[in-house]
Amino acid sequence: MTTDKEHVHNRIAVLRAERGVSRRELATALGVHYQTVGYLERGEYSPSLHLALRIAAYFEVPVEVVFSLVPFPRLGSTN
């Protein structure tokens, strides 16, 4: 379990939804169990650097688009 200081925020669920990719499809592409994707999305597990880079590569975005040390702004917020 991670502390608030160690928590890594992510947009995996948003990116999956935008692209119509299921947890199982993403897990298969990454070579991990589909439950691992769920743990990542809920913030129950922080990925290794290697896995984080593979996730970013899968979605063809920079790693900082997927992961952040601070919460991402809510979609539709004007801040």
CATH number at residue 47: 1.10.260.40
Tell me the CB-side half-sphere exposure of residue 53, using CA atoms within 13 A.
3
Q: Which of 43, 76, 69, 2 is nearest to 12 (CA)?
A: 43
Indicate the number of domains in the chain.
Answer: 1
pTM to 2 decimal places:
0.84
Q: Domain for residue 72, yes or no?
A: no
In a domain, 40, yes or no: yes
What's the domain range around 47?
A: 4-67
pLDDT in tens, 2-58: 455 678 999 999 999 999 999 999 999 999 999 999 999 999 999 999 999 999 999
Query: Quick check: is 9 in a domain?
Result: yes
Burial environment of residue 41 by CB neighbours within 10 A (0 to 12, 13 to 18, 19 or more): middle
| Domain-located, residue 15 | yes
